[in-house]
Amino acid sequence: MSTRKAEISGALQEVLQRIQRACDLARRSVEEITLIAVTKTFPASDVEILYELGLRNFGENRDQEASLKAPLLPDDAIWHFQGQIQSNKLKSIATWSDVIHSIDQLSHAEKLNSLTSKKDIFIQVGLDQSENRGGVAPENLANLANLVDSINSLSNLNILGLMAVAPLGQEPELAFKRLNEISKKLLTTHPEMAAISAGMSNDFEAAIAHGATHIRIGSQILGVR
């Protein structure tokens, strides 16, 4: 085994154990959790190592970078786009990504719908609107529900659930609890969007405690960027 592979393998085992522990504490099954390895800024050779180690879900933030890496992996790799969307990049993003986590505008959804045959998406919620990191304001649940309804009428898009990033300088625990509450309220009228994409290297245990089904982990597996 190469040094790099041994290094990544060790870090991955540790993350998998922490996921197991967090699931045990939350009385959840690990089967409920999809681990997305966030490979942004890391070379395709690292993604290949993760693939050899059994991972299939990879997350990227930049179209230009991901569009070069994704074709190098076998077809059963599942690529997640989680970065902020620029409308003029959507066409390219649609070609290499399988799941888009960062839809927060109807205009982006409509454009994506016209560019793709089928695409799974998450709707990004901005838990702190002062941060400018994207996401629908969650305060007005009716607005959010309206956006969901409009997107549901687009035949090529399938909404899996809500996505969020914990705001800086806030207890992630509280942020994910709030996200889970929003998700539960929405579920009463939209039972199809049961997934929650939340949790990164520094807060994934809190996300699992509050119902995350998709966790996005980069530096804890691949090292500092």
Ligand X SMILES: *Cc1c(COP(=O)(O)O)cnc(C)c1O
List interacting residues with ligand X (CB under 6 A): 38, 40, 61, 82, 165, 200-202, 216-220
Note the helical H segments in the chain.
Answer: 3-25, 44-52, 63-69, 90-96, 106-115, 141-152, 172-189, 204-209, 219-222
In terms of CB distance, is 58 or 209 closer to ligand X? 58
Element holding 158 (H helix, E strand): strand 157-163
In terms of CB distance, is 152 or 165 closer to ligand X? 165
CB of 11 to ligand X, least distance (A): 11
CB of 100 to ligand X, least distance (A): 12
Q: What are the distances in angstroms from CA 55 to CA 29, 59, 66, 127, 211?
A: 18, 11, 17, 29, 21
In terms of CB distance, is 116 or 220 closer to ligand X? 220
In terms of CB distance, is 1 or 68 closer to ligand X? 68
CB of 165 to ligand X, least distance (A): 5
CB of 199 to ligand X, least distance (A): 8
CA–centroid distance for 111 within its chain: 20
Between CA 220 and CA 200 the distance in angstroms is 9
CB of 83 to ligand X, least distance (A): 6
Between CA 199 and CA 222 the distance in angstroms is 16
In terms of CB distance, is 157 or 217 closer to ligand X? 217
The residue of the chain with the least Cβ separation from ligand X equals 218
User: How do 119-124 and 157-163 pair as beta strands?
Assistant: parallel
